Amino acid sequence: MYGTWFQETCYLEKAGVMLRDHLFPETIDEALGIMEEHKGKARLIAGGTDLVADIRRREFDFEVLVDIEKIEELRSIREEDGKILIGSAVTFTELEENELIRNNASALAQAAAQVGSPQVRNRGTIGGNIVSAQPAADGALTLFAFDAVLKIAEKEGIRQIPITQAYLDIGKSIINPSREILVGILLEKREKGEGSNYQRVAIRKAMALPILACGLFMKTIERSIQFARIAIGPVSNTPLRARRAEDFLKGKPLIEEVFREAGKIVSEEVAPRDSKLRGGAVYRKNLAAVLARRGLERVAAEIISGEKLLNDRGVRYE
C-alpha cells in the first residue's frame, strides 16, 4: 500500500540484510501513520549515510524502513514567519550551495562543505545529522551556535524545542525516529552586525572525522560584542556550548586580546579525553583555544565587511 518490497538486487539485501519492507510515504501524516501502524518496528530513513552502516552491521531492531525522500516539504529551504526553515531532508550539498544559507548562516554552509565526500554530501541530510546525535557532527554542531529550534511532528501535532535539548548522550537523541519526524530547523535571519564562522581540524581534509570543530555566532553593535555563541566538539558526550567564554565576551571590543582571552577560557571549559583517533587531551584543549580565537577573528572580519581587524596596538591582522 505504502511502498515496495526490497528487490533481490537491493544494496542492503546484497549485504545479507533482510527487512520486511521499504516504504515511501509522500506526506508527513502518511509517514506518521505508517510508524503508528508498526508500533515501534518502523524506522525513518533519509539519506541513510549513518543508518545504512548500522544496518549492514545488523545493529537494528526494526522491520520496516520509512523513506522520507518523497516528502517535498522536508526537502526545501525557505523563509517562514520571518525565519529560515530548513527541511530535515535537505542535503549537505544543498545547504552548501543555497544562497539563503550563505547569506544568513555562513557557518552552516562552511560546515556542510566539509562533511565527508561529495557522495556523502549529496545523500546525507541535516536531519539525519541531528538525530544521529554525534557530538562532532559538522552540521548539528554548527546549529548549536545558531541556537536553532527544531520542529518535530508526532501524531498529536508539532512541537518545537531548542536544539540544545535534543541530545541525551552519544548517539542518543530525544527524537524517536520510530514514532516522530524531525520536520525542520528554524534559524533567525541575519541582521546587521551579526556573523558566523566554522572552524575544523581533521587528520586529513576529506572523509575524516574532526579532531576538533568549533562553530561561532556573534552579534555586535558599533564594534562592541552584544553576545556570542561558541559551540565545540567532540569534547563531551554532546556538543558543548562554551558558556563562560560567551559571558566573558559580552560588551567587549573586537580586538585581538579579547579573542585570545576568550580562547583561553574555552580551553579551560572543555574536558576532552585522550584518543588514539583524535589525539591527546592536552593537545585538544590547546587546539580548542586556537579554533575559538581564529573563529572569533573571522566572524569579526565578516561583520566589518572585510575590513582588516585592529588589535590594541593598532596593528592590522593580515
Q: What is the pLDDT of residues 183-219, one digit of tens each?
A: 999 999 999 999 999 999 987 655 567 889 999 999 9
75-100 pLDDT, tens digit per residue, is: 999 999 999 999 999 999 999 999 99
> What are the chain's domains?
3-67 (3.30.43.10), 75-188 (3.30.465.10), 194-303 (3.30.390.50)
> Are residues 255 and 223 in contact, defined by beta-carbon separation less than 8 angstroms?
no
Per-residue pLDDT tens for 264-287? Answer: 999 999 998 887 777 788 999 999
Give the pLDDT confidence of 219-260 residue by residue, as tens digits.
999 899 999 999 999 999 999 999 999 999 999 999 999 999
Give the model's pLDDT for residue 219: 97
Q: With a cut of 50, say whether residue 2 has pLDDT above it.
A: no
pLDDT at position 45, please? 87
Q: What is the predicted pLDDT for the residue at 276?
A: 72
What's the mean pLDDT when you consider all of the chain?
86
CA 18 from centroid of its chain's CA atoms:
31
What pairs with residue 215 in β-bridges? 198, 231
Q: What is the pTM of this model?
A: 0.86
**Neighbour-count burial for 256-286, b at 16+ CB within 10 Å, e otherwise:** bebbbbbbbbbbebbebeeeeebbeeeebbe
- For helices 281-303 and 256-269, the axis angle rounded to 10 degrees is 140
Place of cell 586556537: 290
Report the pLDDT value the prediction gives residue 54, as an integer from 0 to 100.
62
Residue 44 scores a pLDDT above 80 = yes
Q: Which of 258, 256, 260, 264 is nearest to 315 (CA)?
A: 256
Considering only CA atoms, which of 176, 197, 281, 198 is closest in space to residue 234? 281
| Torsional sign, CA 9, 12, 16, 18 | negative
The x, y and z cell numbers of residue 114, run together, are 566539509
Is it the case that residue 307 has pLDDT exceeding 70?
no
